[in-house]
Amino acid sequence: MNDNVITTQIVESTSWGVPIIAAFMGATIALIGREIIEWWRRPRLQIDFEKRNESYPYIFDLREESYTQDRKLLSVRGKKYIRFCVFNKGKSAAFGCKTKLEINIPDKKVEGRTSILTWTRTEPRLDEKNTDILELITINRNDREYFNVAHLSFTKRENVTEPKPDLYINFEDPEKRISIGKNVHFQIKIIVSSSNAEPNIFIVNIYWDGTEEGFDKAFTKA
């Protein structure tokens, strides 16, 4: 008699436990599935040099020439810019995107510097500052945005063979001037972050020989 009672209790306990376990497993699977879908749909940001045609990195070469009345070249002034691109190769928009620049010079006398960069939707200009400057933006799926990182100014006078560049490469910090001279090996780290995407880091080695042409070759991916 007692054995039958025990058997009945075991069967009843099992019959109650199966739906609970099944419900728990179903909820767990649904949660994991939702997380996998959200992971697959997440935005993914990627930084790189701007590239045009076969030029990588692409250097903006802006020049203005002045001539005498008999059309002899009097002077040339210009700027060279290097800028970077952030591409969203994910499945959804990235919100609140911002960029940060860290400069690391392997010299104990010079401290590392950190700056917040700004996005621009206009190409660099010789005189006018970019009017469309944003600190936080949304980068849509399969879309890209750009930001300037550094520029070099130069001038050339009549009877001077080579353009005379500035003594420094100037970095695009909106709040303070950051300039670094020639023959210095250093690195910059560019970080792009978003409110709903993981940060992406791009490290660049820089060495400038002090010439105008040398600016074109000064930046290499680490």
Examine the domain organization and report whether 116 and 11 are in the same domain: no
Which pTM value belongs to this model? Answer: 0.76
Question: Rounded mean pLDDT of 120-141?
Answer: 76
Examine the domain organization and report whether 28 and 132 are in the same domain: no
Residues 6+ away with beta carbon under 8 Å from 195: 95, 96
Examine the domain organization and report whether 69 and 98 are in the same domain: yes
Examine the domain organization and report whether 35 and 53 are in the same domain: no
Examine the domain organization and report whether 18 and 75 are in the same domain: no
Examine the domain organization and report whether 49 and 10 are in the same domain: no
pLDDT per residue as tens digits for the range 8-56:
454 455 555 556 666 666 666 656 666 666 766 899 999 999 999 889 9
- The pLDDT confidence band at residue 6, using thresholds 50, 70 and 90, is very low
Contact 122, 81 (CB under 8 A): no
Domain region containing 17: 1-41
Question: Rounded mean pLDDT of 115-131?
Answer: 74
Examine the domain organization and report whether 21 and 50 are in the same domain: no
pLDDT per residue as tens digits for the range 80-99:
999 999 999 999 999 999 99
Examine the domain organization and report whether 30 and 62 are in the same domain: no
pLDDT per residue as tens digits for the range 157-176:
766 666 678 888 999 877 77
Of 39, 136, 134, 139, the closest CA to residue 94 belongs to 139
Task: Kindly state the tokens that stand for 210.
Answer: 């002090």
Tokens 């130069």 — which residue? 154
Examine the domain organization and report whether 177 and 199 are in the same domain: yes
**What is the residue-averaged pLDDT of the chain?**
80
Of the CA atoms within 13 Å of residue 192, those in its CB half-sphere come to 29
Structural domain total, the chain: 2
Identify the CATH number of the domain in which residue 112 sits: 2.60.40.10
Count Cβ atoms within 10 A of the Cβ of residue 43 and give its class: 0-12 exposed, 13-18 middle, 19 or more buried.
buried
Examine the domain organization and report whether 36 and 70 are in the same domain: no
Examine the domain organization and report whether 121 and 187 are in the same domain: yes
SS3 state of residue 32: helix
Distance from the first to the final alpha carbon of the chain: 81
Look at residue 5 in the predicted model and tell me its pLDDT: 46
Examine the domain organization and report whether 24 and 119 are in the same domain: no
Amino acid, single-letter form, for residue 20: I
